[in-house]
Structures are given as structure tokens and as C-alpha cells.
Amino acid sequence: MKYSAVIVAAGSGSRMNLGFNKVYAHLPGGRTILEETMSVFLTDPDCEQIVVVTDAAEYLHHIQTRVEGRITFACGGDTRQRSVLNGVLAAISDIVFIHDGARPHLSAELLGKLKEAMETEEAALLAVPCKDTIKVIENGYVRTTVERSTVCAAQTPQAFRTSAIIQCIRKAEEDGYTGTDDCSLAEKYSDMKIKVVEGSYENFKITTPEDLR
């Protein structure tokens, strides 16, 4: 199954206090976060194209390694949702995998499981069970406790039929609605079923300096 990977890497990463986009911070192995994030897709022959949503000049400043053929750029938007739309509109495949640029530990095994799901599904995402008890809070007080077995923590990539997620994002923009992730737009603006594929706690998003260790 062929697909395009859209890597969303346009944020500033203010919580990292680096003074530049956190995806260009270096991991202990020497590569930048973004290079590590891209690597699993670059080694997958089913990935026809990698759309990096970022400032192209900044990318070329921080990453001198030249990769021919499959990498293209899309401009970031004023929100993540707009950045995703810009990236998805540049996708050439009927299937698109949308992935956080600061989530560099996606394994080939997890990617394979998501690809397998998309052979038969309209949409799919990686998710892991919540380890903590989840409380619903109102006005500073606990209202109720969520049954932990029914909730999970969403990860990326999140995979869709390209045309379908474009329609969902455009409908959200028309309504002035901002989703918390890409699947939330599919939930609100379509009737597609979203397959949950078990992810890994190793596939975490780098948010603070401590995550680089």
C-alpha cells in the first residue's frame, strides 16, 4: 500500500526554550529530531512522498544532508490544523499518514501495523492505554471518574483517505472549529470509522528538554 507521509514540523516549541524550532534540536545520537522522525518513512518503500510542513529555508539551514526524490515542503499555517491542511493538499497519494515532527521514535513495526489497518479501513490511529486515572473536572472540582478501560492516549501517525481528511479540515475551518487532533475532525465531520491500532509508550512526543535525554 502506497502512501504520503505529512510531517507537521512548523511549531516554535516554546516550552523547549531553544530560541528555534525544537525539531532541529539534536538527539543524543547526533541527528536532529526531524531527521530521526523522517528516517522511518525514508526507509519504507511504500512511502511515495514525505511532505515536511516547515519553513524550507530553516530546514536547509539546520539539515544539510541531501535526500533526493521523495521530500517536498509545505508552508506552516497559523494553527496546526492549517499546517496539516497545507501538507495534505500537497500529498500525491490516496492515503496520507499525518505525523508529528517532534515524535521521532516511531518504529517500523508500528508503522507496518498502521499500514496493515489501512488496507481495509477508512482511517486509523496509533493509541496507547492510559496509565493514570482520568478525572472530569468542573469549576475546580471532580465531577466524575472516567472508566480507564474505555480511554486511550492518541498518538501519531493518524492515517486517512486523503480526500476525506481534506473535506473534514475544510468543514472545520468553515465552522471555525479547531480539533485537538486530526481524528477529532474526522469524528465530527464524517461518519468514517477510525480503527485503533495499539501504539507504544516509546512513541512519545518531545515537549520539554528532559525528553531529549
**What are the structural domain ranges in the chain?**
3-126+153-212
- Using pLDDT thresholds of 50, 70 and 90, give the confidence band for residue 97: very high
Q: What is the pTM of this model?
A: 0.94
Helix axes 182-189, 162-175, angle to 10 degrees: 80
Strand partners, 50: 5, 71
Identity of the highest mean pLDDT range in 54-58, 148-152, 181-185: 181-185
Q: What is the DSSP letter of 206?
A: P
| CATH tag, 3-126+153-212 | 3.90.550.10
Spatial separation of the C-alpha atoms in residues 204 and 91, rounded to whole Å: 25
Distance CA(93)–CA(181), nearest Å, equals 21
Q: Tell me the C-alpha distance between 53 and 85, whole Å.
A: 10
**Per-residue pLDDT at 70:** 87
Question: Across-strand partners of 142?
Answer: 137
- The grid coordinates of residue 89 equal 493538499
Q: Rounded to an integer, what is the distance from CA 180 to the centroid of its chain?
A: 12
pLDDT value at residue 17 = 60
pLDDT in tens, 100-136: 999 999 999 999 999 999 999 999 999 999 999 999 9
The number of angstroms, rounded, from the C-alpha of 91 to the middle of its chain's C-alpha atoms is 15
